Structure 1
Amino acid sequence: MKFTQSNLDKLEDILSESGYTTRYERGTFQSGWCLLEQKRMVVLNKFLDTEGRINTLLELIPQLQIEFDKLTHESQKLYEEVMKKSVIETK
């Protein structure tokens, strides 16, 4: 995946279509992100560049409860790619 703003927007769309809110805030994040599960909110370190934001979302999305049926067709395809990549990296 190329590290472009367009791809970052597509990853954020997966979250928003599943009911998650994505925010970029300042804080002392050890991993670059914080997850508030009860509020379905993902908070990312606002000082990350586009590449860092994409890598963080690629790491985070497989850990979330994504509602696949609510995703648009384009988002479903990207979500499947993210999940395949996650499985390969964990092996």
Structure 2
Amino acid sequence: YAVVHDKKIVIINKFFDLEARINALMEILDKIVVEEVLLDQKSRVFYHFLLKESLIKPAEQ
């Protein structure tokens, strides 16, 4: 995967199987600071679910 910080874009290889894509996304979410105001409602709810279930941890500012 690749993270383009200046443009706030994450690129995950579409040829990875589903589990690998999910694992890559969770690894990325553990490393970046998520600006919740930029998330739509559905993404924000999902992000809070991941935090609540301790599947990811909030990145330090």
Q: Report the TM-score when normalising by structure 2.
A: 0.61
Cα separation, 2, equivalents of 1:47 and 1:64: 23
Q: Does 1:85 align with 2:18?
A: no
Higher Rg of the two aligned structures: 1
**Over aligned residues, Cα RMSD in angstroms?**
2.0
Match in the other structure for 2:13:
45
Residue 60 of structure 1, CA deviation = 0.9
Match in the other structure for 1:70:
38
Q: Report the TM-score when normalising by structure 1.
A: 0.47
Identity %: 29
Runs of 4+ in 1 over 3 A off after TM superposition: none
* SS of residue paired to 2:11: strand
1:61 to 29, 32, 37: 29
Residue 53 of structure 1, CA deviation = 0.9
> Does structure 2 retain, via aligned residues, the 8 Å contact 1:68–1:76?
yes
> How many matched pairs?
55
More strand by share: 1
What are the ranges of 5 or more consecutive residues in structure 1 without an aligned counterpart?
A: 1-32
Q: Which letter maps to 1:34?
A: A
